[in-house]
A and B are shown apart, each in its own frame.
Chain A
Amino acid sequence: MHSALINLAYLAASVLFILGIKGLTHPRTAVRGNLYGATGMLLAVVATLASREVFGAGMQGFAVILAGVVIGGGIGATVALKIKMTAMPQMVALLNGFGGGASVFVAGAALIDASDPTAQMTVATVASGIIGSVTFFGSLVAFDKLQELVLPGKPIHFPGQQVVNGLIGLAALGVGAMLVNDPTATDLYWVLVGLASIGGVLLTIPIGGADMPVAIALLNSYSGLAATSTGFVLNNDALIITGSLVGASGLILTRIMCKAMNRSLTNVLTGAIGPEAVGGASADEVYAGKVKSASPEEVAMLFDSARRVVIVPGYGLAVSQAQHAVRELANLLESKEIEVEFAIHPVAGRMPGHMNVLLAEANVPYDKLREMDDINPTFAQTDVAIVVGANDVVNPVANTDPSCPIAGMPILEVDKARTAVVIKRSLNHGFAGIPNPLFAADRTLMLFSDAKKAILDLIAAIKEA
């Protein structure tokens, strides 16, 4: 097919991608938006099949493409249909990585095939190689940490970490410069990829647990930037446009996540927060003699006179798969004419929007999922706030102690509710490594249990009362 027609098809695909993301601005139009995106992709793929490079290559080319698409598509479809909603952060991490990896291979193939590469092409190839490898290996580490396979979820530090990272970065750039200087030395590309791969691992291991939303958002952005660089390698508008959209999306999410923790990106990336950073009051000083433990039956009695209940989900809800039980509790309370809403902190869980997806899976209507700034003013009129497996995001010291590791982080003001019920397995600290005075407050009752079991016990107790 004529190359002008192919390019027009790529333009149409790019427009469909933009409309697709635009659809995501509202849950009502979101499903359609995603279909626009998929249609755009199909169009781009069909146009490429008809292009001179592919169609002209004959049957063998088609056979290789068909095999690749069937294998990759099969893996993608199987995982996408089987994955649990609680494991969505891992899934997204893995997909980010695959996007980055694909860019590394495409840029490498283009470099080897090029007879007389321009400076634009070689510089872009170097960028694809570096960004793509960092994305691929960074995402694999993120996946591993989230899945808790080999590496621990907590940050990994070693002496001189920043220096080593800096040296590897410089080495990769040096090899890149050599490659730009002499594009025929294609072996250097793989040296570069190797260095950037080590860099990707080293950059991600100091990021732990609750900081994962930032890491995943940033890797999301990198996967887009890798596609953009590959676009500059191939002189392809569709890759440049699409990659830029994704790059922008990831950067915006990264910024939102950092703001929601009141921390700089550098601080998150170096893993500067954590159990070592303990300051202020010790756990004994905060908790001794003041923590009131309650049984499900005692908590159930709170609802006799309650008119408004707010549920605050955290990562603990995902860990114990308590979303369906929580929905059942909300239904039961609503049947008693109690208003129930959910308070969602932007960094609750392990990726942006994690809690919303889990609760949507359990059929909680999305208009009941309220953002932090919306719901905070209503806690004073809330009879019972139920915290399910959240800790740092409801810790009032963020507002009161400017020297603590989470100082200035916006929190859900659960301490303002008439009664706070905190469902937690123990008094163990959260990711920030500091005690939470909310657990020892006068108006707080602790329900020590696994999240799902506690909610089910609570439901049983309310039904019996």
Chain B
Amino acid sequence: MDAFIPLLTIFMLAIFVGFEIITKVPPLLHTPLMSGSNAISGITIIGAMIAAAAPAPLTTALGFCALVLAATNVVGGFLVTHRMLAMFKKKD
């Protein structure tokens, strides 16, 4: 329980921060918001790295699978978001 309460606190506060910022994102940018937020949800990659480096072969294998998925998520997400955002231009 001792570790749980601080984590729960962080969780609740982060949810509020999320709601506050994201309601300000205009509909114009909703697609990049989805792909961009998706890329950062690939933060699971750090858990995948720790699992992949573990000594037990089964853990390593699971970590490797997670790593491939998460790395696709992260790299693909940020790149495609960048591609989209670079297209939004004001009247020239």
By a beta-carbon cutoff of 8 Å, the part of chain A in contact with chain B is: 10, 13, 17-18, 20-22, 24-28, 30-31, 33-35, 37-38, 40-41, 44-45, 47-49, 51, 53-54, 57, 60-62, 64-65, 67-69, 71-73, 75-77, 79-81, 83, 85, 88, 91-92, 95-96, 98-99, 101-106, 108-110, 112-113, 118, 120, 216-217, 220, 223-224, 226-228, 230-250, 252-253, 256, 344, 346, 351-354, 356-357, 360-361, 363, 365-369, 371
Question: Known: A120-B4, A240-B10. Is A248-B18 also a contact (CB below 8 A)?
Answer: yes
- Docked CA distance A25–B33 (Å): 9
Tell whether, in the assembled complex, residue B53 and residue A95 are in contact, meaning their CB atoms are under 8 Å apart: no
Tell whether, in the assembled complex, residue B37 and residue A110 are in contact, meaning their CB atoms are under 8 Å apart: no
Residues of A within 8 A of B37 (CB): 21, 220, 224, 245-246, 249-250
Of A98, A118, A233, the residue contacting B70 (CB under 8 A) is A98
Tell whether, in the assembled complex, residue A77 and residue B34 are in contact, meaning their CB atoms are under 8 Å apart: no
Tell whether, in the assembled complex, residue B40 and residue A246 are in contact, meaning their CB atoms are under 8 Å apart: yes
Tell whether, in the assembled complex, residue B44 and residue A232 are in contact, meaning their CB atoms are under 8 Å apart: no
The contact sample of 11 A-B pairs, CB cut-off 8 A, is A20-B36, A21-B36, A24-B29, A44-B43, A91-B35, A108-B62, A230-B47, A246-B18, A252-B19, A356-B29, A363-B89
Residues of B within 8 A of A10 (CB): 46
Please classify the interface of chain A as helix (H, G, I), strand (E, B), loop, or mixed, using the class held by over half of its residues. helix
Q: How far is the CB of B83 from chain A (nearest CB, A)?
A: 7
Residues of A within 8 A of B72 (CB): 72-73, 75-76, 79, 95, 98
- Docked CA distance A216–B18 (Å): 18
- Docked CA distance A31–B89 (Å): 11
Tell whether, in the assembled complex, residue B38 and residue A99 are in contact, meaning their CB atoms are under 8 Å apart: yes
- Docked CA distance A224–B14 (Å): 12
Residues of A within 8 A of B84 (CB): 85, 88, 357, 360
Question: Known: A20-B40, A344-B27. Is A81-B83 also a contact (CB below 8 A)?
Answer: yes
Cβ-Cβ contact count across A and B, 8 Å cutoff: 378
Tell whether, in the assembled complex, residue A253 and residue B34 are in contact, meaning their CB atoms are under 8 Å apart: yes
Q: How far is the CB of B53 from chain A (nearest CB, A)?
A: 3
Tell whether, in the assembled complex, residue B60 and residue A64 are in contact, meaning their CB atoms are under 8 Å apart: yes
- Docked CA distance A363–B85 (Å): 12
Question: Known: A62-B53, A77-B75, A244-B14. Is A30-B32 also a contact (CB below 8 A)?
Answer: yes
By a beta-carbon cutoff of 8 Å, the part of chain B in contact with chain A is: 1, 3-4, 7, 10-11, 14-15, 17-19, 21-56, 58-60, 62-92
Please classify the interface of chain B as helix (H, G, I), strand (E, B), loop, or mixed, using the class held by over half of its residues. helix
Tell whether, in the assembled complex, residue B38 and residue A95 are in contact, meaning their CB atoms are under 8 Å apart: yes
Known: A41-B45, A68-B63, A250-B37. 12 other contacts (CB 8 A): A20-B36, A22-B21, A34-B85, A51-B50, A88-B80, A92-B31, A95-B80, A102-B42, A243-B41, A352-B31, A353-B34, A360-B88
Residues of A within 8 A of B14 (CB): 240-242, 244-245
- Docked CA distance A232–B73 (Å): 21
Tell whether, in the assembled complex, residue A49 and residue B21 are in contact, meaning their CB atoms are under 8 Å apart: no
Tell whether, in the assembled complex, residue A48 and residue B46 are in contact, meaning their CB atoms are under 8 Å apart: yes
Instruction: Return the 6 tightest CB-CB contacts between A and B, nearest first.
Output: A72-B71, A61-B53, A248-B18, A76-B76, A68-B67, A353-B30
Residue of A nearest to B74 (CB): A41
Question: Known: A44-B46, A57-B55, A77-B76. Is A245-B26 also a contact (CB below 8 A)?
Answer: no
Of B17, B66, B71, B91, the residue contacting A245 (CB under 8 A) is B17
Residue of A nearest to B67 (CB): A68
Tell whether, in the assembled complex, residue A227 and residue B74 are in contact, meaning their CB atoms are under 8 Å apart: no
Residues of A within 8 A of B25 (CB): 21, 24-25
Residues of B within 8 A of A352 (CB): 27, 30-31, 33-34
Q: How far is the CB of A146 from chain B (nearest CB, A)?
A: 14
Residues of B within 8 A of A113 (CB): 51, 54, 56, 59
- Docked CA distance A64–B60 (Å): 8
Q: How far is the CB of B75 from chain A (nearest CB, A)?
A: 4
- Docked CA distance A239–B47 (Å): 9
- Docked CA distance A13–B42 (Å): 13
Tell whether, in the assembled complex, residue B31 and residue A109 are in contact, meaning their CB atoms are under 8 Å apart: no
- Docked CA distance A240–B48 (Å): 15
Tell whether, in the assembled complex, residue A245 and residue B28 are in contact, meaning their CB atoms are under 8 Å apart: no
Q: How far is the CB of A399 from chain B (nearest CB, A)?
A: 21
- Docked CA distance A368–B74 (Å): 32
- Docked CA distance A33–B19 (Å): 17
- Docked CA distance A31–B81 (Å): 8
Tell whether, in the assembled complex, residue B30 and residue A109 are in contact, meaning their CB atoms are under 8 Å apart: no
Tell whether, in the assembled complex, residue B49 and residue A65 are in contact, meaning their CB atoms are under 8 Å apart: yes
- Docked CA distance A53–B43 (Å): 17
Tell whether, in the assembled complex, residue B41 and residue A227 are in contact, meaning their CB atoms are under 8 Å apart: yes
Q: How far is the CB of B77 from chain A (nearest CB, A)?
A: 5
- Docked CA distance A223–B37 (Å): 10
Residues of B within 8 A of A356 (CB): 27-31, 88
Residues of A within 8 A of B69 (CB): 72, 98-99, 101-102, 105
Q: How far is the CB of A316 from chain B (nearest CB, A)?
A: 18
Q: How far is the CB of A306 from chain B (nearest CB, A)?
A: 20
- Docked CA distance A73–B23 (Å): 31
